[in-house]
Homo-oligomer: A and B are copies of this chain.
Amino acid sequence: MKTLGYAILGLLAREELSGYDLKRLMEGRVGYFWQAKHSQIYPELALLEEGGFARHRLVEQSGRPDKKVYGITEAGREALQEWLVEPVEKPPTRDELVLKAYSVWLADPGKAARVFRERQAEHEARLAEYLEIEVWMENNLGESLDDVGSPDFAGYASLRRGIAAEREYAGWCRWISEKLENARSDGELAEGQASGAEER
Protein backbone atom coordinates (compact mmCIF):
# COMPACT_ATOMS: atom_id res chain seq x y z
CA MET A 1 0.00 0.00 0.00
CA LYS A 2 1.18 3.49 -0.76
CA THR A 3 1.43 6.35 1.70
CA LEU A 4 -1.75 8.00 0.47
CA GLY A 5 -3.60 4.87 1.52
CA TYR A 6 -2.32 5.23 5.07
CA ALA A 7 -3.11 8.92 5.06
CA ILE A 8 -6.71 8.09 4.25
CA LEU A 9 -6.85 5.27 6.78
CA GLY A 10 -5.53 7.64 9.43
CA LEU A 11 -8.50 9.90 8.81
CA LEU A 12 -11.02 7.07 8.58
CA ALA A 13 -9.74 5.73 11.90
CA ARG A 14 -11.05 8.92 13.52
CA GLU A 15 -14.41 9.15 11.78
CA GLU A 16 -16.43 7.96 8.81
CA LEU A 17 -15.91 10.10 5.76
CA SER A 18 -16.92 10.39 2.14
CA GLY A 19 -14.45 10.95 -0.67
CA TYR A 20 -15.59 14.52 -0.79
CA ASP A 21 -14.99 14.96 2.95
CA LEU A 22 -11.49 13.58 2.50
CA LYS A 23 -10.86 15.96 -0.34
CA ARG A 24 -11.76 18.93 1.85
CA LEU A 25 -9.69 17.70 4.77
CA MET A 26 -6.68 17.35 2.52
CA GLU A 27 -7.16 20.87 1.26
CA GLY A 28 -7.44 22.24 4.78
CA ARG A 29 -5.81 21.40 8.05
CA VAL A 30 -4.56 17.91 7.28
CA GLY A 31 -3.21 19.33 4.04
CA TYR A 32 -0.38 20.86 5.96
CA PHE A 33 1.48 17.55 6.04
CA TRP A 34 -0.33 15.58 3.37
CA GLN A 35 -2.61 16.54 0.51
CA ALA A 36 -4.27 14.93 -2.45
CA LYS A 37 -6.72 15.93 -5.14
CA HIS A 38 -10.02 14.19 -5.54
CA SER A 39 -8.72 12.54 -8.68
CA GLN A 40 -6.32 10.62 -6.48
CA ILE A 41 -8.62 10.06 -3.54
CA TYR A 42 -11.47 8.30 -5.32
CA PRO A 43 -9.34 5.63 -6.98
CA GLU A 44 -7.40 5.12 -3.74
CA LEU A 45 -10.63 4.57 -1.80
CA ALA A 46 -11.58 1.91 -4.32
CA LEU A 47 -8.22 0.23 -3.79
CA LEU A 48 -8.58 0.35 -0.01
CA GLU A 49 -11.96 -1.28 -0.29
CA GLU A 50 -10.65 -3.88 -2.70
CA GLY A 51 -7.93 -4.72 -0.19
CA GLY A 52 -10.42 -5.01 2.65
CA PHE A 53 -9.04 -2.02 4.58
CA ALA A 54 -12.15 0.11 4.24
CA ARG A 55 -15.80 -0.33 3.33
CA HIS A 56 -18.55 2.04 2.34
CA ARG A 57 -22.28 2.43 2.61
CA LEU A 58 -24.47 4.58 0.41
CA VAL A 59 -26.11 7.55 2.06
CA GLU A 60 -29.04 8.97 0.17
CA GLN A 61 -29.56 12.67 0.49
CA SER A 62 -32.37 14.94 -0.55
CA GLY A 63 -31.34 17.85 -2.70
CA ARG A 64 -27.74 16.66 -2.82
CA PRO A 65 -26.11 13.83 -4.72
CA ASP A 66 -25.95 10.54 -2.86
CA LYS A 67 -22.64 9.83 -1.24
CA LYS A 68 -20.46 6.90 -0.27
CA VAL A 69 -19.47 7.07 3.36
CA TYR A 70 -16.33 5.10 4.13
CA GLY A 71 -15.25 3.51 7.37
CA ILE A 72 -12.10 1.66 8.37
CA THR A 73 -12.19 -2.10 8.86
CA GLU A 74 -10.41 -4.16 11.48
CA ALA A 75 -7.86 -5.16 8.83
CA GLY A 76 -7.41 -1.51 7.97
CA ARG A 77 -6.75 -0.56 11.56
CA GLU A 78 -4.19 -3.35 11.87
CA ALA A 79 -2.41 -2.32 8.68
CA LEU A 80 -2.29 1.25 9.92
CA GLN A 81 -0.86 0.21 13.27
CA GLU A 82 1.85 -1.82 11.62
CA TRP A 83 2.77 0.99 9.26
CA LEU A 84 2.98 3.46 12.16
CA VAL A 85 5.93 1.74 13.79
CA GLU A 86 7.86 1.01 10.61
CA PRO A 87 10.96 3.18 10.19
CA VAL A 88 10.63 6.11 7.81
CA GLU A 89 13.08 7.05 5.10
CA LYS A 90 14.03 10.71 5.23
CA PRO A 91 12.63 11.95 1.95
CA PRO A 92 14.75 14.12 -0.36
CA THR A 93 14.14 17.84 0.05
CA ARG A 94 13.35 19.95 -3.01
CA ASP A 95 13.08 23.60 -2.13
CA GLU A 96 12.95 26.02 -5.00
CA LEU A 97 13.43 29.04 -2.77
CA VAL A 98 16.65 27.70 -1.28
CA LEU A 99 17.71 26.92 -4.82
CA LYS A 100 17.20 30.57 -5.65
CA ALA A 101 19.14 31.57 -2.56
CA TYR A 102 22.03 29.49 -3.88
CA SER A 103 22.16 31.63 -7.02
CA VAL A 104 21.11 34.89 -5.43
CA TRP A 105 24.57 36.38 -5.96
CA LEU A 106 23.58 36.78 -9.62
CA ALA A 107 20.41 38.71 -8.90
CA ASP A 108 19.55 42.30 -8.22
CA PRO A 109 19.43 42.31 -4.41
CA GLY A 110 16.38 44.55 -4.15
CA LYS A 111 14.28 42.47 -6.50
CA ALA A 112 15.44 39.25 -4.90
CA ALA A 113 14.59 40.54 -1.43
CA ARG A 114 11.00 40.96 -2.53
CA VAL A 115 10.75 37.26 -3.35
CA PHE A 116 11.93 36.29 0.13
CA ARG A 117 9.75 38.90 1.85
CA GLU A 118 6.68 37.56 0.08
CA ARG A 119 7.42 34.08 1.25
CA GLN A 120 8.14 35.32 4.75
CA ALA A 121 4.69 36.87 4.89
CA GLU A 122 3.09 33.60 3.82
CA HIS A 123 4.84 31.66 6.55
CA GLU A 124 4.02 34.26 9.16
CA ALA A 125 0.37 34.18 8.18
CA ARG A 126 0.32 30.41 8.43
CA LEU A 127 2.12 30.58 11.74
CA ALA A 128 -0.46 32.98 13.15
CA GLU A 129 -3.23 30.60 12.11
CA TYR A 130 -1.53 27.66 13.77
CA LEU A 131 -0.88 29.60 16.96
CA GLU A 132 -4.55 30.40 17.21
CA ILE A 133 -5.44 26.75 16.87
CA GLU A 134 -2.83 25.90 19.46
CA VAL A 135 -4.37 28.30 21.97
CA TRP A 136 -7.79 26.91 21.23
CA MET A 137 -6.57 23.36 21.72
CA GLU A 138 -4.81 24.14 24.96
CA ASN A 139 -7.92 25.83 26.34
CA ASN A 140 -10.47 23.32 25.14
CA LEU A 141 -8.79 19.94 25.01
CA GLY A 142 -6.66 20.31 28.15
CA GLU A 143 -6.25 16.85 29.66
CA SER A 144 -6.22 14.83 26.47
CA LEU A 145 -3.29 16.76 25.00
CA ASP A 146 -1.10 14.84 27.43
CA ASP A 147 -2.62 11.47 26.67
CA VAL A 148 -0.63 9.86 23.87
CA GLY A 149 -3.51 7.44 23.35
CA SER A 150 -5.83 10.25 22.37
CA PRO A 151 -6.39 11.53 18.84
CA ASP A 152 -6.28 15.01 20.32
CA PHE A 153 -2.69 14.50 21.35
CA ALA A 154 -1.81 13.25 17.89
CA GLY A 155 -3.38 16.27 16.23
CA TYR A 156 -1.62 18.55 18.67
CA ALA A 157 1.73 16.89 17.97
CA SER A 158 1.32 17.43 14.24
CA LEU A 159 0.33 21.02 14.81
CA ARG A 160 3.45 21.65 16.88
CA ARG A 161 5.56 20.51 13.97
CA GLY A 162 3.69 22.92 11.75
CA ILE A 163 4.29 25.78 14.16
CA ALA A 164 7.99 25.07 14.49
CA ALA A 165 8.44 24.67 10.74
CA GLU A 166 6.64 27.89 9.82
CA ARG A 167 8.51 29.87 12.45
CA GLU A 168 11.83 28.51 11.29
CA TYR A 169 11.17 29.19 7.62
CA ALA A 170 9.86 32.69 8.23
CA GLY A 171 12.93 33.45 10.33
CA TRP A 172 15.28 32.38 7.57
CA CYS A 173 13.36 34.48 5.01
CA ARG A 174 13.63 37.49 7.30
CA TRP A 175 17.35 36.97 7.76
CA ILE A 176 18.17 36.74 4.06
CA SER A 177 15.78 39.58 3.16
CA GLU A 178 17.53 41.89 5.58
CA LYS A 179 20.91 40.96 4.18
CA LEU A 180 19.75 41.68 0.65
CA GLU A 181 18.06 44.94 1.57
CA ASN A 182 21.03 46.26 3.50
CA ALA A 183 23.32 45.48 0.59
CA ARG A 184 21.15 47.61 -1.62
CA SER A 185 21.74 50.72 0.45
CA ASP A 186 25.39 49.92 1.16
CA GLY A 187 27.23 51.59 -1.66
CA GLU A 188 30.56 50.04 -0.72
CA LEU A 189 30.38 46.55 -2.16
CA ALA A 190 29.35 47.90 -5.53
CA GLU A 191 31.49 45.62 -7.73
CA GLY A 192 28.37 43.89 -8.87
CA GLN A 193 27.33 40.87 -10.89
CA ALA A 194 23.90 42.31 -10.20
CA SER A 195 22.62 43.94 -13.33
CA GLY A 196 19.83 46.49 -13.21
CA ALA A 197 19.65 49.25 -10.67
CA GLU A 198 16.52 51.08 -11.68
CA GLU A 199 15.90 52.22 -8.09
CA ARG A 200 12.85 54.48 -8.18
Residues of A participating in the B interface, judged by any CB pair closer than 8 Å? 3, 6-7, 9-10, 13, 30-35, 77, 80-81, 83-88, 90-109, 111-112, 114-115, 118-119, 122, 146-151, 153-155, 157-158, 160-162, 164-165, 167-169, 171-172, 175-176, 179-180, 183, 189, 191-195
Please state the number of chain copies in the assembly: 2
Q: Considering the chains assembled together, what is the distance between the CA atoms of A145 and B32 in angstroms? A: 34
Given contacts A81-B195, A179-B157, contact A88 B100 (CB under 8 A): yes
Q: Considering the chains assembled together, what is the distance between the CA atoms of A153 and B183 in angstroms? A: 12
The smallest beta-carbon distance between A91 and chain B, in angstroms, is 7
Across the A-B interface, give the 5 residue pairs with the lowest CB-CB distance, nearest first.
A33-B98, A10-B103, A85-B111, A148-B183, A84-B107
Contacts of A164 in B (CB 8 A): 168, 171-172
Contacts of A95 in B (CB 8 A): 33-34, 91, 161
Complex contact A172–B160 (CB within 8 A) = yes
Contacts of A193 in B (CB 8 A): 149
Interface hub of A7, A99, A153, A191 (most chain B Cβ within 10 A): A99
Complex contact A158–B98 (CB within 8 A) = yes
Contact of A3 among B30, B33, B99, B162 (CB under 8 A): B99
Contacts of A119 in B (CB 8 A): 88, 90
Contact of A7 among B6, B99, B105 (CB under 8 A): B99
Given contacts A148-B179, A164-B171, A180-B148, contact A84 B98 (CB under 8 A): no
Contacts of A107 in B (CB 8 A): 81, 84-85
Contact of A161 among B31, B101, B114, B149 (CB under 8 A): B101
Q: Considering the chains assembled together, what is the distance between the CA atoms of A175 and B153 in angstroms? A: 13
